[in-house]
């Protein structure tokens, strides 16, 4: 099966089965108030989505519009719009009598999310390889040097900094060529795994340190096929780390 066909299958599967289930006692899942911002509806949607996908609610738990609005410090209108949007994404179940409730997420849904990310990130790396210049390469070398220096220590703060380096590393590759639609699809896939979740997985930091040099090496040799493959493998390994972490935390118990 070619990559385009595989992508179509995976995106369809992920779209229809995006569910969440994790045990927690926090009524509002760690949501933090929102100050005055533009695009308030988008921000409310993102905050609630991130909380759900970080395990802030129990599967089947009811979300009450008034409670969420009070907790976030906003009116009920953007909250209601956010819940409707998240129901369309499959993260929430909604019915006239039961309202909005946290939907079920299966392990294969997490795998699908990362399979989509891996395909798109790999394709962007493949397209970037032939046109990478010395400026692009120097940027990757600098970021990786930061990662390796930080990797000599381990703390929540250090892992957060490494996560930021990882984000900048992949963004530098993804923006080498004009591929706005591919990047849009990649953003759509990555929004279901909040960036901060990686900071809670110590083994993920090691992947960033170990995997990136091989990606840089393939890019420097202008080996597009190898660059694509190494990026795909890297993203899939990250997905495995996230999945194992969720299982260890009792995500599906």
**Cβ-based burial of 67 (10 A; exposed 0-12, middle 13-18, buried ≥19):** middle
Helices within 89-179 (DSSP H only): 107-128, 134-150, 156-174
CATH number of 18-102, picked from 1.10.10.10, 1.10.579.10, 3.30.2320.50, 1.10.287.370: 1.10.10.10
Place of tokens 């927690």: 24
Residue 143 above 80 pLDDT? yes
Residue 2 to residue 7: CA distance in whole angstroms = 9
Residue 68 above 60 pLDDT? yes
- CA end-to-end span of the chain, whole Å? 35
Cβ of 122: how many Cβ atoms within 10 Å?
22
What pLDDT does residue 135 have?
A: 96
CATH superfamily of 107-248: GntR ligand-binding domain-like (1.20.120.530)
Residue 195 to residue 54: CA distance in whole angstroms = 10
Residue 237 above 70 pLDDT? yes
What pLDDT does residue 11 have?
A: 46
Contact 231, 141 (CB under 8 A): no
Residue 13 above 70 pLDDT? no
Residue 41 above 90 pLDDT? no
Per-residue model confidence as pLDDT tens digits over 106-136:
888 889 989 999 999 999 999 999 999 999 9
Consecutive H or E run containing 219: helix 202-220
Residue 62 pairs with which residues in a beta bridge? 101
Task: Name the least confident of 8-12, 82-86, 233-237.
Answer: 8-12
Q: What is the mean predicted confidence (pLDDT) over 10-22?
A: 42
pLDDT classification of 26: cutoffs 50, 70, 90 = very low
* Residue ranges of the chain that CATH labels 1.10.10.10: 18-102
Q: What is the mean predicted confidence (pLDDT) over 240-247?
A: 83
Q: What is the dihedral of CA 165, 166, 170, 171, to 10 degrees?
A: -40
Residue 231 to residue 187: CA distance in whole angstroms = 16
The CB-side HSE value for 25 (13 A sphere, CA atoms) comes to: 0
Residue 32 above 70 pLDDT? no
Residue 20 to residue 246: CA distance in whole angstroms = 11
Mean pLDDT of the chain: 82
């Amino acid at each position: 099966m070619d990559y385009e066909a595989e992508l179509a299958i995976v995106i369809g599967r992920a779209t229809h089965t995006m569910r969440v289930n994790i045990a927690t006692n926090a009524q509002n899942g760690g949501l933090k108030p929102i100050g005055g911002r533009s695009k308030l509806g988008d921000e409310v949607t993102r905050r609630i989505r991130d909380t759900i996908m970080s395990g802030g609610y129990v599967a089947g738990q009811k979300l009450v519009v008034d409670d969420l609005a009070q907790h976030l410090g906003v009116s009920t209108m953007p909250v209601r719009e956010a819940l409707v949007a998240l129901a369309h994404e499959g993260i929430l179940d909604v019915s006239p009598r039961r309202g909005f409730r946290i939907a079920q997420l299966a392990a294969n849904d997490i795998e699908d999310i990362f399979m989509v990310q891996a395909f798109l990130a790999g394709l962007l790396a493949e397209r970037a390889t032939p046109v990478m210049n010395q400026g692009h390469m120097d940027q990757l070398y600098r970021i990786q040097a930061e990662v390796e220096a930080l990797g000599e220590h381990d703390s929540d703060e250090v892992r957060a900094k490494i996560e930021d380096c990882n984000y900048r590393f992949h963004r530098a590759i993804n923006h080498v060529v004009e591929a706005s639609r591919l990047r849009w699809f990649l953003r759509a896939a990555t929004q279901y795994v909040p960036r901060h979740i990686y900071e809670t997985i110590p083994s993920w930091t090691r992947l960033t340190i170990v995997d990136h040099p091989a990606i840089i090496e393939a890019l420097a040799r202008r080996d597009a096929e190898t660059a694509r493959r190494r990026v795909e493998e890297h993203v899939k390994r990250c997905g495995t780390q996230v999945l194992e972490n969720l299982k260890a935390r009792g995500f599906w118990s």
